[in-house]
Amino acid sequence: MSLQIQPAVSLKGLNTFGIDVRADRLVEAQSQAQILEALALAESSGWPVLVVGGGSNLLLTGDVHGLVLRIATRGIRQLAEDGGPVIIEAEAGEPWHGFVQHTLAQGLSGLENLSLIPGTVGAAPMQNIGAYGVEIKDVFHGLTALDRHSGELRDFTLADCAFGYRDSLFKHEPGRWLILQVRFALSRQSQLHLDYGPVRQRLTEQGISAPTASDVSAAICSIRREKLPDPAELGNAGSFFKNPLVSANQADALRLDYPGLVAYPQAGGEVKLAAGWLIEQAGWKGFREGDAGVHRLQSLVLVNYGNATGAQIHQLALRIQADIHSRFGVLLEMEPNLY
């Protein structure tokens, strides 16, 4: 199938913030061959390339010149099951939540705590997505990516990816790696993670004493729907700021002034602070200026009430950053990629 290049396209429907900017050109690649063809065309034409998946971790601050390459590949395959982990491979363009639900329907456990996270499979390793005590690195088996510098394909192991908290090698080499397929090691024997956040409480409320992986997924979906706005109804990219890591001494000093500080000791001796708590304490929860605002129920979520520009949301984020640093001496790091 030859490439279909769409000229002068609005990207409003391709980013979950709903920012209405335009791209000079858009290609929706449905195969690896189309991805390679689009990149070769951009190279020969001198076009810069912005690669997007679900647009759920992206803040567009202006029109996009060059080529927007949307990864729309599909396919899920079981590669191995020899009495150990079940290795499942998915194409990068598979919607993440649909992939999670597919694995659960196959009787596989491991991804249930990551239910209802927006985006695509290919974007998941970029920031080592995580929720309710589980991260991609906990179930990761490998991935295949295109090196845009050399044009070669490379297979990555867990160690190769240098996963950290919302971090990976791919974030530190932006624009170099284009993830094509991702592989996960899942299990037919459930090893459920129930003790992070209100998961166990929600299951108890539902009268479920011996939950399955699907039960955990359903409980987490209900919790997320209550806490986070649906991007189809209110533009957002989920949590806008990372939970900051500080030293134990800094956490102890903050706790003297703020006894209610929400903090989680980490294995390496650092302490993870709840960014949402800091933002709420500073009075930003529910703030709105024009159509850019902070969600009224979840202070970690910046929202577009309709016609905010990416620049307006970015300026709001910078103001929150500066205020939190001034009050608490803590620098919040933004999660979405700015473009």
Return d(Cα 89, Cα 91) in angstroms, integer: 7
As annotated, the active-site residues are 166, 239, 335
How many Å from the N-terminal Cα to the C-terminal Cα in the chain?
30
- Which is it for the CA torsion 228, 231, 235, 241, positive or negative? positive
Give the pLDDT confidence of 241-286 residue by residue, as tens digits. 999 999 999 999 999 999 999 999 998 899 999 999 999 999 999 9
94-100: Cβ within 8 A, 24+ apart: 94/120, 94/121, 95/54, 95/119, 95/120, 95/121, 96/54, 96/120, 96/121, 96/123, 96/124, 96/129, 100/217
Query: What is the phi/psi pair of residue 60, to 5°?
Result: -90, 120
| Arithmetic mean of pLDDT, 316-333 | 98
How many C-beta atoms surround the C-beta of residue 247 within 10 A?
Answer: 11
Instruction: Please report which confidence band the pLDDT of residue 1 belongs to, taking 50, 70 and 90 as the band edges.
Output: low
Bridge partner list, 127:
none
- Asked whether the beta carbons of 215 and 192 are under 8 A apart, the reply is no
| Arithmetic mean of pLDDT, 27-52 | 97
- Asked whether the beta carbons of 66 and 25 are under 8 A apart, the reply is yes
* pLDDT number for residue 295: 97
Instruction: Please report which confidence band the pLDDT of residue 84 belongs to, taking 50, 70 and 90 as the band edges.
Output: confident
Give the pLDDT confidence of 142-198 residue by residue, as tens digits. 999 999 999 999 999 999 999 998 899 999 999 999 999 999 999 999 889 998 879
Q: How far is CA 292 from CA 70, 237, 283, 320, in A?
A: 26, 13, 16, 13
* pLDDT number for residue 88: 98
Give the pLDDT confidence of 210-235 residue by residue, as tens digits. 999 999 999 999 999 998 899 999 99
The DSSP code for 230 is -
Contacts of residue 11, Cβ cutoff 8 Å, sequence gap at least 6: 19, 20, 21, 22, 23, 26, 55, 60, 64, 68
Q: Supply the pTM of this predicted model.
A: 0.90
- Describe the strand order of the beta sheet including 292-294 as a list of residue ranges: 235-239, 301-304, 292-294, 288-289
How many C-beta atoms surround the C-beta of residue 25 within 10 A?
Answer: 21
DSSP string of 175-222, one letter each residue: TTEEEEEEEEEEBSS------STTHHHHHHHTT-SS--HHHHHHHHHH
- 298 in helix, strand or coil? coil
Contacts of residue 153, Cβ cutoff 8 Å, sequence gap at least 6: 144, 145, 146, 147, 180
Question: Which domains does the chain show, CATH number per domain?
Answer: 5-71 (3.30.43.10), 76-227 (3.30.465.10), 235-338 (3.90.78.10)
Contacts of residue 107, Cβ cutoff 8 Å, sequence gap at least 6: 188
Both structure tokens of 247: 């030293």
Return d(Cα 144, Cα 161) in angstroms, integer: 11
